[in-house]
Amino acid sequence: MRVFVFALCAFLILPHAAEAFQDEIVVTGSRIARPDAARAREVQAVPHVHVVRRADNFLVTVEILSDTRERDERREEVRATLQTVLERADNVAGITVSMMGDGLVDLDAGMIGQVDIQEHPRREDVSTVTLYLKTPVGAPDDFDDADNRVAAFVAGLTATGRATVEASSSYSLTLTGGADQYRNDVIRAIATDVRFLRSTFGNEYDINVATSLHERVRLTQSGPLELSIYLPYTATIMLKRDD
């Protein structure tokens, strides 16, 4: 089992943390040993009223690399290993191989000619390709179920020549259709809370809610497989003046 503490996710307005891949929002997480200040600030930013939804998919980044001396030979090793990955995915239930194109594009073995092998930006004489292994988050799944499916898939791969397959220690969660589909749910939840406050405090108090409804709905990871979806808002409660 890999160590997990709540992910270092951020809002949709931060492109490095939650990115729109066509109609699928990807919220980046991290398996880390301890929380940090960035995570603490993020948790504080989520308002009390929010909507929690289970993620649709669990996503792990995988790199295929080869450091064979000759450029053409190492690229061929990467391509042959990629072929193995795609063929295995065709025969293993619950695993989809994707790449970044105009969006997050699902691959199969027949699409290998469309994959561009790159030279590693930080490692000399290393060719590489980056993949995303995606597994759906089913109703009975917990974090270990999703994580173990991906880990078992990677463990069963056979690389060609000097090529290696390296899975990232971090992971992402995806939400199909994006967060804006839950905008009305979030607004209704805020309204329900305001009605509760009014009924509890009574007519002696004014309750005012301020939010920017023109803003996009935001989301962040709130559990191993859960996402919190919200609009920033404030609610103030003040005793009415006797005029």
Domains and CATH numbers, the chain: 18-55+177-239 (no CATH), 57-176 (3.30.70.600)
Query: How do residues 70-84 score in pLDDT, each as one tens digit?
Result: 999 999 999 999 999
Query: How do residues 190-233 score in pLDDT, each as one tens digit?
Result: 999 999 999 999 989 999 988 877 788 998 998 999 999 999 88
Continuous segment of H or E residues that includes residue 205: strand 205-211
Rounded Cα–Cα distance for residues 74 and 155 (Å):
22
Tell me what pLDDT residue 9 has. Answer: 29
Assess whether pLDDT exceeds 90 at residue 42: no
**What's the chain's average pLDDT?**
83
Query: How do residues 110-128 score in pLDDT, each as one tens digit?
Result: 888 888 899 998 889 999 9
Determine the straight-line distance between the first and last CA of the chain, rounded to whole angstroms: 64
pLDDT band at 31 (very low <50, low <70, confident <90, very high): low
Rounded Cα–Cα distance for residues 190 and 188 (Å):
5
Nearest to 36 by CA among 62, 61, 8: 8
Nearest to 111 by CA among 127, 129, 125: 129
Lowest average pLDDT, out of 4-8, 97-101, 127-131, goes to 4-8
